[in-house]
């Protein structure tokens, strides 16, 4: 009897295991080729803008991807969404205020930095070799806090954040350039502490007095005008952004995602709404996904999505003493 019972249990386990494997293999086909258009739009937007766009490219042509990515841009969705603010921490000694925020499908953190000239760009000490964790980049600069900044490209397939993408400026010097004199969207600060967003070439950095900068996007708010139509076409994911109020106050926003019991994530529209709620006159999306992180007082302040902890990245915006 005991032997038969043992065989029966093994058969049940084998049956369940087979079905789980079958479901896992079938899921991408249902997701990308199935009839669920709304689910497909969200999935393509989220995965294609992650570190594994090749997953989408394996199932869909570039024309199909482009069509889906742009499918929401023409929609005029009502942008007003209530953002709840709680648990305000004002640290007078460091000139920083931190607030918890919550939207329709996400939770996150907002950090306000009164003096914009204290915001610097930290760059990995070993460009081309390896990136660093945000907590290490903050420590390198003897800073109080920091968020992940620009993206990176991966020519060696190591995924270790060694090569910042686009133009990277630190302390007024161009420290990395993989686009030659092509035009890219600049996210940075000039020598007056103003957040500068817009297309620029490497040769234009000096004439615009750019002190700290990375390349990323898209822009969310420019000169007080919202720039995102529809939901932005990038799906729902963890997000990081930086903005500035009219009085110069810098706004860091980090939104958690891909954690169904905590926070699903945000669209670009959601991220823009947060900055609008904080009266930003300029704001931009930074690298997101598993890179999204806020460090304060030597600790990670948000809930990371990556089970392996902090990701190795090339750059971070930090708040210096």
* pLDDT tier at 311, thresholds 50, 70, 90: very high
Q: What's residue 25's pLDDT?
A: 64
Q: What's residue 76's pLDDT?
A: 40
Average pLDDT of the chain to the nearest whole number: 86
Tell me which of 45, 69, 93 is where a domain ends. 69
**Would residue 76 count as lying in a domain?**
no
**Would residue 78 count as lying in a domain?**
no
Q: What's residue 15's pLDDT?
A: 73
Provide mean pLDDT across the span 257-282. Answer: 96
* 36 shares a domain with 104: no
* 102 shares a domain with 61: no
* 237 shares a domain with 169: yes
The string of pLDDT tens digits covering residues 68-121 is 555 544 444 444 456 888 888 888 888 899 999 999 999 999 999 999 999 999
d(CA 92, CA 73): 41
CA-wise closest residue to 300 among 146, 162, 174? 146
**Would residue 77 count as lying in a domain?**
no
* 280 shares a domain with 247: yes
The string of pLDDT tens digits covering residues 43-58 is 665 555 555 566 666 7
The string of pLDDT tens digits covering residues 192-201 is 999 999 999 9
**Would residue 251 count as lying in a domain?**
yes
pLDDT greater than 70 at residue 67: no
* 247 shares a domain with 205: yes
Provide mean pLDDT across the span 266-276. Answer: 97
* pLDDT tier at 29, thresholds 50, 70, 90: low
* 182 shares a domain with 279: yes
Provide mean pLDDT across the span 140-156. Answer: 93
* 119 shares a domain with 147: yes
* 130 shares a domain with 57: no
* pLDDT tier at 155, thresholds 50, 70, 90: confident
* 126 shares a domain with 244: yes
Share of the chain above pLDDT 90, in %: 64
* 110 shares a domain with 37: no
Lowest mean pLDDT among 59-73, 78-92, 271-285: 59-73
The string of pLDDT tens digits covering residues 168-208 is 999 999 999 999 999 999 999 999 999 999 999 999 999 99
Q: What's residue 79's pLDDT?
A: 45
Contact call for residues 284 and 213 (beta carbons, < 8 A)? no
**Would residue 90 count as lying in a domain?**
yes
What is the 3-class SS of the chain, one letter each residue?
A: CHHHHHHHHHHHHHHHHHHHHHHHHHHHHHHHHCCCHHHHHHHHHHHHCCCCCHHHHCCCCHHHHHHHHCCCCCCCCCCCCCCEEEEEEEECCCCEEEEEEECCCCEEEEEEECCHHHEEEEECCECCCECECHHHHHHHCCCCEEEECCCEECCCCCCCCCEECCEEEECCEEEEECCCCCCEEEEEEECCCCEEEEEECHHHCCCCCEEEEEECCCEEEECCEECCCCCCCCCCECEEEEEEECCCCEEEEEECCCECCCECCECHHHHHHHHHHCCEEEEEEECCHHHCCEEECCEECCCCCCCCCCCCECEEEEECC
Q: Which residues contact 46 (CB under 8 A, 6 or more apart)?
A: 234, 235, 236, 237, 265
Tell me which of 15, 35, 69 is where a domain ends. 69
**Would residue 217 count as lying in a domain?**
yes
**Would residue 122 count as lying in a domain?**
yes
Q: What's residue 308's pLDDT?
A: 84
In this structure, what token pair is assigned to residue 95? 């000139």
* pLDDT tier at 218, thresholds 50, 70, 90: very high
Tell me which of 69, 103, 121 is where a domain ends. 69
- For residue 145, the enclosing domain spans 84-319
The structural domain count of the chain equals 2
Higher pLDDT, 320 or 47: 320
d(CA 119, CA 110): 15
**Would residue 98 count as lying in a domain?**
yes
Q: What's residue 181's pLDDT?
A: 95
* 41 shares a domain with 181: no
* 93 shares a domain with 31: no
Lowest mean pLDDT among 84-98, 163-177, 244-258, 284-298: 84-98
């Amino acid at each position: 009897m005991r032997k038969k019972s043992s065989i029966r249990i093994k058969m049940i386990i084998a049956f369940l295991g087979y079905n789980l494997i079958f479901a896992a293999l079938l899921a991408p086909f249902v997701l990308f080729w199935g009839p669920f258009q709304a689910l497909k739009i969200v999935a393509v937007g989220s995965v294609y803008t992650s570190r594994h766009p090749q997953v989408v490219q394996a199932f869909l042509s570039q024309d199909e991807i482009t069509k889906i990515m742009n499918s929401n841009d023409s929609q005029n969705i009502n942008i007003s969404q209530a953002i709840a603010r709680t648990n305000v921490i004002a640290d007078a000694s460091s000139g920083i205020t931190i607030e918890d925020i919550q939207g329709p499908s996400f939770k996150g953190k907002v950090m306000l930095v009164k003096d914009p000239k204290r915001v610097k760009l930290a760059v990995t000490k070993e460009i081309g070799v390896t990136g660093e964790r945000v907590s290490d980049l903050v420590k390198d600069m003897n800073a109080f806090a920091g968020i992940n900044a620009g993206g990176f490209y991966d020519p060696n397939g190591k995924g270790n954040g060694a090569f910042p993408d686009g133009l990277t400026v630190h302390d007024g010097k161009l420290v990395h350039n993989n686009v030659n004199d092509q035009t890219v969207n600049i996210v940075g600060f000039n020598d007056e502490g103003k957040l500068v967003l817009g297309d620029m070439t490497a040769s234009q950095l000096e004439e615009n007095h750019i002190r700290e900068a990375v390349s990323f996007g898209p822009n969310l708010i420019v000169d007080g005008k919202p720039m995102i139509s529809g939901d932005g076409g990038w799906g729902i994911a963890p997000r990081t952004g930086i903005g500035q109020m009219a009085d110069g106050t810098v706004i860091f926003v980090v939104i958690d995602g891909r954690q169904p019991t905590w926070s699903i994530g945000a669209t670009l529209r959601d991220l823009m709404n947060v900055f609008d709620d904080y009266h930003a006159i300029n704001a931009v999306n930074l690298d997101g996904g598993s890179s999204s992180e806020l460090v304060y007082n030597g600790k990670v302040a948000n809930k990371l999505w990556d089970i392996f902890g902090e990701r190795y990245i090339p750059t971070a915006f930090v708040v210096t003493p």
